[in-house]
């Protein structure tokens, strides 16, 4: 249950990848000179691509402030999320025991193998797979560069795996907008058009909320309360009456503004 409080407990789910300390020599570095973590990450990226027999990955959006990356009209949201309470054989999950012993292991296996994210908005799959990133995800994730809509799982199923424990999901505001609702842009000296300020748009609050709502049936099955809404709430509205909490705040890429409302008990 979430309650307003000046005392807060920050809950987070983090995945960390140790890509090297910069003090490791390798076969490609016979002189023994220290390699940077970026060089080691690039080697690991190539190794994964070789193992999956992937010769190239489509380029991502050029620059994190590319306005087309944050275009809701082309985000291709899924109006109907996969049912977290339906087994892969089509059978409906009707009890806590079926969830724990059958459906939850199915979803967990998919996430361990594939990772997640089926919305073309914010931080694109192709950008995450770029050579200058650190590739913390499962190696199979590389298969979805340019094919993000083929992923077999979605974020609401990840939230469902946390049930019946409480979870709070938060993000900052989206990109600065013009009076007509379009993204405010500017043109640089090189002619490149970029967003004036994307704020926290790459986290994709409008994609995070369906993940919170979509996990609700699993929480209900386990005797807990869902997020309590099906429509995306106005910014700075705290949904904290259930065991799934959600709030989009007016700040940037930080969870600080949400701490006073995210007390988890």
Tens-digit pLDDT profile for residues 60-108: 666 566 777 777 777 765 557 789 999 999 999 999 999 999 999 999 8
Residue 139 CB contacts under 8 Å (≥ 6 apart), including other chains: 48, 51, 52
Q: Does the reported pTM lie above 0.75? A: no
102-124 pLDDT per residue, tens: 999 999 888 877 776 667 777 77
Domain that holds residue 220: 2-264
Give me the number of domains the chain comprises.
1
Among candidate residues 143, 129, 113, 117, the one with its CA nearest the CA of residue 45: 129
Mean pLDDT of the region 193-201? 88
Q: In the prediction, which pLDDT does 17 show?
A: 29
- Euclidean distance between CA atoms 28 and 31, whole angstroms: 9
Residue 220 has pLDDT above 70, yes or no: yes
Helix axes 155-162, 104-114, angle to 10 degrees: 130
């Amino acid at each position: 249950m979430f309650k307003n409080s000046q005392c807060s407990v920050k809950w987070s789910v983090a995945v960390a990848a140790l890509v090297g300390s910069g003090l490791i020599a390798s076969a490609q570095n016979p002189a023994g000179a220290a390699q940077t973590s970026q060089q080691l990450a690039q080697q690991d990226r190539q190794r994964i691509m070789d193992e999956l027999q992937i010769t190239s990955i489509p380029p991502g959006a050029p620059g994190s402030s590319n306005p087309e990356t944050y275009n809701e009209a082309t985000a291709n949201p899924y109006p109907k999320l996969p049912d977290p309470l339906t087994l892969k054989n089509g059978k409906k999950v009707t009890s806590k025991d079926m969830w724990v012993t059958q459906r939850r292991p199915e979803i967990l296996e998919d996430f361990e193998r594939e990772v997640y994210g089926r919305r073309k908005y914010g931080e694109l799959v192709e950008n995450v797979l770029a050579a200058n990133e650190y590739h913390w995800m499962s190696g199979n994730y590389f298969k979805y560069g340019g094919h993000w809509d083929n992923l077999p799982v979605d974020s609401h199923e990840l939230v469902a795996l946390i049930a019946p424990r409480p979870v709070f999901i938060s993000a900052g505001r989206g990109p600065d907008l013009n009076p007509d609702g379009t993204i405010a842009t500017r043109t640089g000296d090189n002619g490149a058009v970029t967003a004036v300020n994307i704020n926290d748009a790459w986290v994709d609050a409008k994609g995070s909320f369906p993940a919170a709502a979509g996990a609700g049936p699993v929480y209900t099955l386990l005797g807990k309360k869902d997020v309590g809404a099906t429509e995306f709430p106005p910014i700075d509205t705290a949904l904290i009456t259930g065991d799934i909490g959600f709030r989009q705040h007016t700040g940037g890429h930080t969870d600080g503004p949400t701490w006073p409302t995210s007390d988890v008990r």
